[in-house]
Structure 1
């Protein structure tokens, strides 16, 4: 019976040793899993940071390009004497690449305005240019002094 008790004790010790070893192995596996998980999270965060930084760089570049375009258009308008309202321009299509040679349009020719009777010239709207008087109509530029003999014969 003593032998049997010793054998039973050895089995229990052995099982306890196996249990402890299994417990240590399980703890090691769990720790390794945690380290792997932390490493994967770190790598994912690094990747996300790189993608976001690249996006910020590209967006910044796009913003700079847009701002440069705005400034170029504003500068061309300023040089041409065109305000933000975008008055029409004559564009020189033969200008060197990257340059827009623009000239303001010629001044508009005034058209005779019909005024109702009784209106004074001072009552014209301020935004219309003053009209130049029309030259006198000439029916015949030949004066009595310059008539030819043929003209004299026809007159008689």
Structure 2
């Protein structure tokens, strides 16, 4: 079943359960899907990769807002963002844990023949393509930098 159908069904369930936080997040996802489908130059259905990118973008927006609200001591707004983030993450594919990510990046470093921090761009290009949807870009970048510095 496509993400859009899952979201529509979840919206109905959240409305019946009067789950305000879930409803906010689900409506945000639905709006993003509709926006992507009506974007200029797009036709047809969203692919699974497009859906994952869309959800990752929404999750990243929530995380960034959460950080800002916490820095400004706005726990009321931070709580709302956190509630929405939890709902959005339910629809994201399972992320790699740190051990799996480190093993994957070490394999990519060996594959590209990178040996110094100057080769970071080469490694990041391959890593972001291979690990798209499986790991956060910040985590990938930090680990690549750490492993190349050794």
**Greater RCO (CA < 8 Å, at least 6 residues apart):** 2
Answer yes or no: same fold by TM over 0.5.
no
Q: TM-score, normalised by structure 1?
A: 0.19
Q: TM-score, normalised by structure 2?
A: 0.20
Q: Pick the structure with greater CA Rg.
A: 1
